[in-house]
Structure 1
Amino acid sequence: MSRRAALSAIGVGAAALTGCRALNESAPAARSGDGAAVLGNRASSPGNETMPWDDKKKVSDSTGQIQGYASKTSVGRGESIGFHISSHRAQTCTVSVHRVGGHGGSGTRLLLTGSPVAVRPRTRPVPEAGTGLIACDWPVSWTLRVPRSWVSGIYVAVFTARDGHRACTPFVVREPARRSDILMVVPFTTYQAYNVWPHDGRTGKNLYRGYSPEGVWGGFEDRAVKVSFDRPYSQSGAPHWFELDTSAARWAESAGHDITYASSLDLHEGRIDPSKYRVMMFSGHDEYWSADMRGCAERAVAAGTHLAFLTANNIYFHIRVEGSADGRPGRVVTCYKESPDPAPGPLGPTSRWRQLGADHEHAEQGLLGVQYNGILKKPVPLVVRESDHWFWSGTGLRDGDSIPDLVAVEADGFDPAMPRPAGTRQTLLSASPYADRLGRRRTQQNTSLCVDERGTIVFVAGTFYWPLALHDPQHVNQHVRRATHNLLSRMLERKRG
């Protein structure tokens, strides 16, 4: 079945393809009399998109009105995935499954709703001594066998309790046997690194912070060094910065791209053959990478597959992915950071990639061309450079023009003291000064594009807000849309020999 036919089969249809014509039209910047670009040139908003996991009847980790987690981060068509659900009291719950994508402007599509299942309070684990690991041992409440007619995508299981509370958990449906133009990789390892469940005033931990034994929300010394996928995501269940990935997926599908999806665990566990794709797109905050994940990305470039990183702070921490206590693989993310790692692998301990090896030989800039250089105090404009490059074609932007508030949260920049991709020609497409979050240090953000001798491209946006500018109603920007269209058009214009 073709991609378009498959999408139509689940109700997407031709409406998902309406973005192509608009993206081929020029979107020149408005200008003042002195020739400077006028800020705030935005595309029309995509409209109000329904988010089935958003609800006015809020769920809290303290009460746990209804929460659950998935047995896998991704599942193939025809395979099964289990959902482990707990409620604050014995009652019934229904599980509905939604796909995130273009879907004619609605943003999501309801695919099925299961029959009510009984749920009740489940035991909350205490952090493991020494590691802070919090792993639930809840039984499976509801099982989904994914229909073979469903296409690859970002899916969300929504748990709706009889008393009206609602929460969710995401997963990916994959099609690893099918070649597609683009493989979008969803950063589940980073989702889990930031997950602080249960943020209940006494228990929760992630790889950054946690509660002390006295129940005080502490700092680095109270963090976990291991986090488990066997627990819900905090509060409503939408992971931290999930909107980056959903915004990118909605834009890409609305633009009619041939796209399949994978989780970062699929890269780690060897389910991805990068030669099947013309582009591997990393759509969100993709900070935590194992050696196997990075090896997959490096094999992609060697095979002539382009890489597109749409945010910043990519491939920053080196991690191990380990099994659960009962032996299920891929359920624990381990990162000791500055603490001594008791079991370092061949590359070294689970610390920052740039700290591994001699002379920073494994620094992320060696693959990406730029690397993380700071957290912003507040959003600042992205300042354009190399405006005659094909990347900026049709935007009407000139050197020194700025796109408002596009550089935000975290930023990347080029560091001349670090390795850069060998045998490539690099173009820095922006040079955006910013102050760090304490206002004490000023540095520069760079959007980067590296091209090797065969024409294989590695692109890094270098800011968190790039995928939001593609589709999110509060951030959408025509210049970013056009530039990203130019990028993918160049990446997809020739088939490899």
Structure 2
Amino acid sequence: MIEGYLGRESVCLGDRLAIHVATTAVRFRVDFYRLGSVLEFVGSSDWFPGVAAAPPPHPDGLVEHASPAVDWNWPGYECAVPADWRPGLYLAVFVEESDERVPCTLPNEPGTLRGFGREFFVVRPRPGAETGPILYKKSTLTRHAYNHSDNESQIRGSSLYDNPVYVLDKPTEPRGHKVSMHRPGGINDVAYWDAPFIKWLADNGYSVDFCTDLNLHENPEMLSRYRLLLSVGHDEYWTEAMRAHVERFIAQGGNVAFLSGNTCWWRAHFVDDNTAFVVDTDHHVGTTFPNLPATDQWWTPPSDGVGRPENSLTGVSFRNGGMWPGDWPGDRPRTGFAVQHADHWVFAGTGLRDGTDGRPQDFLGAGTPLIGYECDGAAFEYDDAGIAHATGVDGTPESFRILGLALLEPVNDDYYTMHMSHWNCPAREPEITSPRAATMGIYTANGTVFTAATTDWPVIVGNRLDANVEQVTRNVLNKLSE
């Protein structure tokens, strides 16, 4: 048995990568791979002495459940990151001692990487040596919130969602659910969202740099060296600094493509020298809610929340979208987005129609699980011609243009109420004043912001399930990275 985690999930070329590993083997090494068109083996570390280590016990005395809230403090090792590696998203695969020093065998298709005993990290270029105009933000906060710290033989069930720890009245940090980023857990999120989309980017000739949420949080000048920021997949947790840096980037003419859903739903706070974070959410601890209303909800008016609707950044909000009940990622209706404004440059080369020519309205992504499993929407109303317009009552910018709608019907009780142990929107917003719909759209505020409004946009693109969704993605990337 071998498992581990990284001291920090981002490193610059030529620096050293801190790795923490627990193993029952006498020796182990780390094999490194870069994600791209194929999974490229780039080298191995030296052999390290193996040391067994146990996870910290859960503070509530829950047997077999480790604490998600503290540094696991496993033995540390360092590996050099050669200066001649290329920037990108990499895998560190922990390999127990064997008779031959050979690369670990992994599938060569990036979309088949689910498993334990491995972690991802970002290799950044040195400032001034950026690869191109596009920066891909890996949503590491969300990854850690959902990380159960399981391994191949044990379900520990320790996360922000499973047996969480709520911290009260500490002078050095805010109250809320606490999650350490120094825990193992595997790379299911990378396998599902990132690997297929990164392969598609490489296959289509896009050279991108990568960063983590912590990079964006710590470095206000990083965005100024790019034209386009990508938010990909499930991007739920944002700090004040992350949001401020992106909003300033847009105000100064930078562009953002939210190829993501459930985006910027909770405000997080880095603590413990930026190795952990705290967020006051509506998750159960045991059988109770520690604090309601949860004060780190971005859109909820103060003092019950932050009072800064995520719509003002993204154009859309999870409260006007939703999630599908059932196992992750779950099946859901495959209607796609009803197309509006088919003459917009976003739809160039697709041949899609919006019904204004008297012919039937087309649906982008119809027949694929494009919508969800979590998706965001804007409050809207129809005009006399049947065109949907954002009302702005929820904070969506005035210039937001709805390019596609996916009505979330029929609505069931799970849709609005208890799901995944959330104290959901009806308690905060009992009057539902707009139809719930995933809302693809775009707005301009010096810079331009496109939102796909669904977690699974990169899955459809990366797995090449719909040619028109791919074409829209090319149009967005090409136009906004100019």
Q: Quick check: TM above 0.5?
A: yes
| Alignment pair present for 1:262 and 2:253 | no
User: Who is 2:82 aligned against?
Assistant: 147
3-state SS of 2:189 partner: coil
Partner of 1:83: 19
Which AA in structure 2 matches 1:337?
Answer: T
Deviation at 1:412, TM superposition (A): 0.9
Q: Do the aligned partners of 1:288 and 1:316 also contact (CA within 8 Å) in 2?
A: yes
Q: Please give the alpha-carbon distance, in whole angstroms, between the structure 1 residues aligned to 2:302 and 2:442.
A: 25
**RMSD between superposed Cα atoms in Å:** 2.8
Distance 2:306 2:181 in 1: 31
Corresponding residue to 2:323 among 351, 362, 375: 375
Deviation per CA, 1:365-417, whole angstroms, max 9, x where unpaired?
01111111200253322122222211111111112322222112011111243
Counterpart Cα distance in 2 of 1:471 and 1:451: 27
Residues 242 and 315 (structure 1), Cα distance of their counterparts in 2 relative to 1, 3 Å cut: farther
Q: Find the residue that maps to 1:189 and give its secondary structure.
A: helix
Secondary structure at the aligned position of 1:243 is classed as helix
Distance across 2 between alignment mates of 1:438 and 1:241: 31
AA of the residue aligned to 2:470: R
Aligned to 2:300: 355
* Matching residue of 1:366: 312
Cα gap change, 1:265 to 1:207, in 2 (>3 Å): same
Aligned residues: 393
* C-alpha displacement of 1:341: 7.1
Distance in 2 between residues matched to 1:488 and 1:440, nearest whole Å: 33
Pairing 1:445-456 to 2, within 5 Å after superposition: 445-452=438-445, 454=446, 456=447
Give the drift of 1:132. Answer: 5.6
Amino acid across the alignment from 2:93: V
Q: CA deviation at 1:420?
A: 1.8
TM-score by length of 1: 0.73
- 1:207 is paired with a residue of what secondary structure? coil
Secondary structure (helix, strand or coil) at the match of 1:261 reads: strand
**SS where residue 411 of structure 1 aligns?**
strand
Once the two structures are TM-superposed, the CA of residue 305 in structure 1 deviates from its matched residue by: 0.7
Work out whether residues 174 and 262 of structure 1, in 8 Å CA contact, stay in contact via their aligned partners in 2: yes
Q: Is the 8 A contact 1:281 1:309 kept in 2?
A: yes
Give, in whole Å, the separation in 1 of the partners of 2:475 and 2:163.
43
Gaps of 5+ in 2: 62-66, 99-103, 105-114, 166-175, 283-288, 326-330, 355-360, 380-390, 417-434
Report matched runs for 1:277-292 at 5 Å.
277-292=226-241
1:341–1:78 distance in 2 versus 1, CA, 3 Å: farther
CA distance in 2, matches of 1:440, 1:322: 33
Contact 1:365 1:419 survives alignment (8 Å) = yes
Matched AA of 1:119: G
1:98-497 matches, within 5 Å, as 98-102=33-37, 106=38, 108-128=39-59, 133-141=69-77, 143-162=78-97, 167-175=117-125, 177-178=127-128, 179=130, 180-198=132-150, 203-210=156-163, 225-233=177-185, 237-240=186-189, 242-270=191-219, 272-323=221-272, 329-338=273-282, 351-357=296-302, 361-372=307-318, 373-377=321-325, 378-379=331-332, 380-383=334-337, 384-399=339-354, 400-402=361-363, 403=365, 404=367, 405-415=369-379, 416=391, 417-421=393-397, 425-435=399-409, 443-452=436-445, 454=446, 456-472=447-463, 476-493=465-482
Classify the secondary structure of the residue corresponding to 1:310: strand
Distance 1:211 1:292 in 2: 25
Is the partner of 2:133 in helix, strand or coil?
strand
Do the aligned partners of residues 440 and 171 (structure 1) sit closer, same or farther apart at CA in structure 2, a change above 3 Å counting? closer
Displacement, 1:258? 3.4
Q: Which range is displaced more, 399-408 or 69-78?
A: 399-408
Q: 4+ residue runs of structure 1 moved beyond 3 angstroms?
A: 128-132, 162-166, 198-204, 239-242, 338-342, 356-361, 435-442
- Report the CA distance between 1:448 and its aligned residue: 1.4
Length-normalised TM-score, structure 2: 0.75
State percent identity of aligned pairs: 26
Taking structure 1 as reference, are residues 206 and 302 closer, same or farther at Cα in structure 2, changes over 3 Å only?
A: same
TM superposition shift of 1:429: 1.3
Tell which deviates more after alignment, 143-152 or 298-307.
Answer: 143-152
Distance 1:360 1:78, change over 3 A: closer
- For structure 1, list consecutive stretches of 5 or more residues without a partner in the other structure: 1-64, 213-223, 324-328, 343-347
Question: Is the contact between residue 233 and residue 456 of structure 2 (CA under 8 Å) also seen in structure 1?
Answer: no
Deviations for 1:335-366, whole angstroms, at most 9, x for unmatched residues? 12146679xxxxx9752101254897401001
